[in-house]
Each structure stands twice: as structure tokens, then as C-alpha cells.
């Protein structure tokens, strides 16, 4: 079988979808269930129908475009990613996996391939946490990682509930109808830009992901006592920012002390109240994000941070509260799927690099439902989540080709 990808058509479609944005191009802003997201879904739906795929959406708007296989009882082979984009993002994150997946399917059809297992393109709802504060909303619900009762409590900044917003977007049905049972898919493969610099530096066009790191994230609230910056003398102070500063450094050491390259910890937000030059900070809100490919190691870091928080609280007579937002388990990719991807690369004489995904993706949750792996392509300077995110048409085409080859092998 001679699989031929049309890289210029694929590049054109990526450019076209990037114009469906709520920011001025080249920036892409496509927050879930916004006008731009709904227009993008309609545009993509038309492309899928044009490719003669059967379309179905679930109650949260996850969309499945199906190429039925000759054996309707055989579990399907799935690929896909997301088309939502954080404010001021670029045009490749997620989109490469969706439009690349569509082009892979079209290329297999052009080559005359007839799948035995149905092939499904999945477009996941809200991979980005922008609107409801939870990343991978769609795949979490599909896999059962997010219980429907918890999803029902989600609301956006305006106070509109997930239920109200999804219903207004045309996705009805109950949240508990979304979950899929494990074993329904033979395999899941997600094509994605690396969002890091390794492939570009090594001049290798393809990465086969072996492990997906997962974050534990928390909100930290430090409360001390405020007062006049001149009036309250040092022995009497219970400065919340000084306590928070101690804690931020404890987070850094907890991650450094593991000496494991896959361990990272970040405090990304520090909100100081009341935030005046002559006022002692009485309250500080921090965010915490700890990631690792090893669950035990990551949990031990969370434990160390919690011990450091207790120590700081008692030493400085402040209160420290840590509220866990999520703590997903990292995933190992399936040996079956990574091997098929490796064979696909070899069949096309393309070198590949075994990699770790340090960002998490819908694949992290799909791994709970199906043997899963990811295929990475390089992006310029490793940049992502910014308007100048870039992957060359040749690299995107190369990713789509290997994806098509792997889907054919898995679905035969
Ligand atoms: Zn993504």
C-alpha cells in the first residue's frame, strides 16, 4: 500500500482553522464553547463529512468521526486531539493531531485501504483548563477520571455552570452518559507537537512517547496578620509573604533534591493581599504544580511540601492551607502501540527518538481506556502556547504519514 499525505492541503487547513479565533491573527484564542470554538467545530464537522466519516458527539461535546471497519464487532482504533486553544496561543497545539489525523484517514482511503477495525478520529472537548479550571475535561469524563457529579459542579468565571454552557452550545444528554468502558478501543494514538526543544535540537523529526508525566496541582493559602509597615515591629510580625517565600523555596528544594530529571515543581502565581507598599502582607495565595513520570516520587514531593508548610506555619505563627486541585497518575505508554509506531517509522526509513511527554495530554486519560501512545513532531524552538508557535509543513506531513501507517497496521 502506498500512503501519500498531502502536506500542502494539511498546511492550508491548519492555516484556515487558525483564522477561527477570538484574537487577532496570528494569535489563536479558542476557548471551549465560545463562538470561535463552535465555529471551529462546525468547520471541522464539514471536513469530516466531506471525508465520509460518520459524526457523533457526546454530552460534553467530545466528537467522534468514524470510518467503520469491515468487522463491526472488532474494537476500534482511535486517534485525535483537541482544537481548543488558550488565549493568545498558536495554531498547532492539538490541531496537528486533529487535522493530521483526518489527513491520515483520508490518505488511507486514497490508498484503497479497507480497515477491519473501525478507525475513529476523536476531537476532545476542553483539553485546556481555561474556562472551567480543569484540563482534559472531555477525556477525563470519557475515562471516568472525573466523576460526573464533580463535573456538574464546575462553573466558569462568570458563574455559568458547565451544564448551562454545554446545553447552550447544543450538547445535551446527561454527564453520566459520557464515560466509555475500557476495552472499547484496540488502541489510541495521539499526534502532537513536542512543545519542547529536544527533537529540534537533535534534528530528529519524530518522537515516540514512552511515558506521560502527570501534574499534581494545589492552591495554597497563607494567612498571617497585616498592619502598618512602620507601626508593627519585627518581633510582632506574622508576615504572610515572608512565610510564602519560605514555602516557595521549599517547593524548589523538594523537586531538586530528587535529582531526577523528570521531576519538576513550580509556583506560578503569588497573589499578595492587600498589596500596598506600606502594608504588611496578611494573606498570600500561591499555586503549586508538581510533575513527574513516577507517581510514588511525585507523591513524596507533595508530602515534603506539606511538611514544610506545617513547619513554616508553626515557626511563623501563620496558617497555611493546601487544597489539592488534582493529582493525576502519570501514564506508561503501551508497548504494543509504541512498537507499531516504531515499525511505521522504520517502514518509511525515518529515525525516531523515544521520549517522555512532560506536558500532559488527552492521552494521559485515554491510557486508562485503551493501549495508548503518542507521536511527537518538532516545533520551532520548542515554543508552544504563543502566537509564533510553528511546525513546518514537512514535519506535520511526516507525522501524519507515520500516524497513517500506524493506524493501518493497528486496524488491519
Ligand atoms: Zn495540546
Residues 374-384 have pLDDT tens digits of 999 999 999 99
Scanning 222-294, the segments in alpha helix (DSSP H) are 240-256
Percent of the chain whose predicted confidence (pLDDT) is above 70 = 100
pTM (2 decimals)? Answer: 0.90
Q: What is the pLDDT of residue 400?
A: 98
| Ligand 1 centroid to residue 228 C-alpha, Å | 47
| Ligand 1 centroid to residue 8 C-alpha, Å | 22
| Ligand 1 centroid to residue 83 C-alpha, Å | 8
Chain centre distance of CA 369: 16
Q: Which three cell numbers stand for residue 159?
A: 458563574
**Average of per-residue pLDDT across 318-340:** 96
User: Half-sphere exposure of 40 toward its Cβ, with a 13 Å CA cutoff?
Assistant: 34
**Average of per-residue pLDDT across 6-11:** 98
| Ligand 1 centroid to residue 212 C-alpha, Å | 13
**Average of per-residue pLDDT across 316-325:** 96
Confidence of residue 198 (pLDDT cuts 50, 70, 90): very high
**Average of per-residue pLDDT across 128-144:** 95
| Ligand 1 centroid to residue 86 C-alpha, Å | 10
| Ligand 1 centroid to residue 361 C-alpha, Å | 6
Q: Are strands 206-212 and 331-332 parallel, antiparallel or unpaired?
A: antiparallel
Residue 168 reports pLDDT greater than 90? yes
| Ligand 1 centroid to residue 139 C-alpha, Å | 12
Residues in contact with 135: Cβ distance below 8 Å, sequence separation at least 6, in sequence order: 126, 127, 128, 129, 360
| Ligand 1 centroid to residue 198 C-alpha, Å | 17
| Ligand 1 centroid to residue 251 C-alpha, Å | 26
d(CA 362, CA 294) in angstroms, rounded, equals 18
**Average of per-residue pLDDT across 268-290:** 97
**Average of per-residue pLDDT across 261-283:** 96
Q: What is the pLDDT of residues 31-81, one digit of tens each?
A: 999 999 999 999 999 999 999 999 999 999 999 999 999 999 999 999 999
The CA-based diameter of the chain, rounded to the nearest angstrom, is 81
d(CA 64, CA 314) in angstroms, rounded, equals 53
d(CA 18, CA 85) in angstroms, rounded, equals 10
d(CA 333, CA 149) in angstroms, rounded, equals 29
Q: What is the pLDDT of residue 135?
A: 93
> Between 214 and 364, where is the model more confident?
364
| Ligand 1 centroid to residue 3 C-alpha, Å | 26
Q: What is the pLDDT of residue 374?
A: 98
| Ligand 1 centroid to residue 261 C-alpha, Å | 22
**69-to-46, 76, 126, 371, 397 alpha-carbon distances in Å:** 21, 8, 28, 19, 25
| Ligand 1 centroid to residue 287 C-alpha, Å | 22
Q: What is the pLDDT of residues 388-405, one digit of tens each?
A: 999 999 999 999 999 999
Q: Which residues pair with 220 in a beta bridge?
A: 286, 322
SS3 at position 305: helix
| Ligand 1 centroid to residue 385 C-alpha, Å | 9
| Ligand 1 centroid to residue 391 C-alpha, Å | 13
Q: What is the pLDDT of residues 330-356, one digit of tens each?
A: 999 999 999 999 999 999 999 999 999
Confidence of residue 166 (pLDDT cuts 50, 70, 90): very high
Which residue's C-alpha cell is 496570528? 26
| Ligand 1 centroid to residue 234 C-alpha, Å | 48
Residue 153 reports pLDDT greater than 90? yes
| Ligand 1 centroid to residue 247 C-alpha, Å | 31
Burial class (CB in 10 A: 0-12, 13-18, 19+), 325: middle
**80-to-114, 144, 184, 192, 221 alpha-carbon distances in Å:** 20, 18, 16, 9, 38
| Ligand 1 centroid to residue 95 C-alpha, Å | 8
Q: What is the pLDDT of residue 40?
A: 98
What is the dihedral angle through the alpha carbons of 106, 111, 117, 121, rounded to the nearest 10 degrees? -10
**Average of per-residue pLDDT across 139-164:** 97
| Ligand 1 centroid to residue 285 C-alpha, Å | 28
Q: What is the pLDDT of residue 326?
A: 86
Instruction: Provide, for the chain, the percentages of residues in helix, strand and coil under a 3-state DSSP scheme, each rounded to the nearest 5.
Output: 35, 25, 40
Buried b (16+ CB within 10 A) or exposed e, 251-281: beebbeebeeebbbbbbeeeebeeeeeeebb
| Ligand 1 centroid to residue 192 C-alpha, Å | 7
Average model confidence (pLDDT) across the chain:
97
Amino acid at each position: 500500500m502506498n500512503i501519500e499525505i498531502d502536506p500542502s492541503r494539511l498546511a492550508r487547513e491548519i492555516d484556515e482553522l487558525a483564522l477561527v479565533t477570538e484574537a487577532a491573527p496570528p494569535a489563536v484564542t479558542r476557548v471551549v464553547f465560545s463562538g470561535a470554538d463552535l465555529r471551529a467545530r462546525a468547520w471541522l464537522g464539514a471536513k469530516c463529512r466531506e471525508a465520509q466519516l460518520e459524526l457523533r458527539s457526546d454530552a460534553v461535546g467530545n466528537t467522534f468521526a468514524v470510518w467503520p471497519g469491515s468487522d463491526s464487532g472488532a474494537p476500534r482504533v482511535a486517534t485525535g486531539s483537541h482544537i481548543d486553544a488558550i488565549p493568545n496561543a498558536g495554531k498547532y497545539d492539538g490541531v496537528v493531531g486533529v487535522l493530521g489525523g483526518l489527513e491520515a484517514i483520508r490518505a488511507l482511503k486514497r490508498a484503497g485501504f479497507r480497515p477491519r477495525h473501525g478507525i475513529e478520529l476523536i476531537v476532545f472537548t476542553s483539553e485546556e483548563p481555561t474556562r472551567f479550571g480543569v484540563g482534559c475535561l472531555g477525556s477525563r469524563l470519557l475515562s471516568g477520571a472525573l466523576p460526573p457529579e464533580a463535573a456538574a459542579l464546575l462553573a466558569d468565571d462568570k458563574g455559568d455552570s458547565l451544564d448551562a454552557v454545554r446545553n447552550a452550545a447544543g450538547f445535551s444528554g446527561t454527564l453520566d452518559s459520557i464515560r466509555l468502558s475500557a476495552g472499547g478501543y484496540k488502541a489510541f494514538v495521539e499526534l502532537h507537537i513536542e512543545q519542547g526543544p529536544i527533537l529540534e535540537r537533535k534534528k530528529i523529526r519524530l518522537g515516540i512517547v514512552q511515558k506521560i508525566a502527570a501534574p499534581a496541582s494545589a492552591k495554597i493559602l497563607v494567612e498571617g496578620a497585616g498592619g502598618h509597615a512602620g507601626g508593627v515591629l519585627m518581633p510582632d510580625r506574622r508576615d504572610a509573604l515572608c512565610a510564602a517565600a519560605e514555602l516557595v523555596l521549599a517547593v524548589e528544594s523538594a523537586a531538586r533534591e530528587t535529582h531526577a530529571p523528570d521531576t519538576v515543581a513550580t509556583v506560578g502565581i503569588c497573589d499578595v493581599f492587600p498589596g500596598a507598599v506600606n502594608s504588611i502582607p496578611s494573606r498570600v495565595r500561591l499555586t503549586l504544580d508538581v510533575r513527574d513520570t513516577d507517581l510514588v516520587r511525585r507523591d513524596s514531593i507533595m508530602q515534603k511540601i506539606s511538611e514544610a508548610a506545617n513547619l513554616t506555619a508553626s515557626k511563623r505563627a501563620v496558617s497555611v492551607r493546601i487544597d489539592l486541585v488534582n493529582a493525576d497518575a502519570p501514564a506508561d505508554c503501551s508497548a504494543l502501540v509504541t512498537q507499531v509506531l516504531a515499525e511505521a517509522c522504520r517502514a518509511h526509513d525515518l529515525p525516531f527518538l523515544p521520549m517522555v511527554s512532560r506536558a500532559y495530554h488527552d492521552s494521559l486519560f485515554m491510557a486508562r481506556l485503551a493501549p495508548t501512545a503518542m507521536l511527537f513532531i518538532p516545533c520551532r524552538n520548542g515554543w508552544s502556547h504563543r502566537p509564533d508557535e510553528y511546525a513546518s509543513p514537512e514535519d506535520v506531513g511526516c507525522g501524519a504519514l507515520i500516524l497513517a501507517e500506524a493506524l493501518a497496521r493497528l486496524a488491519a
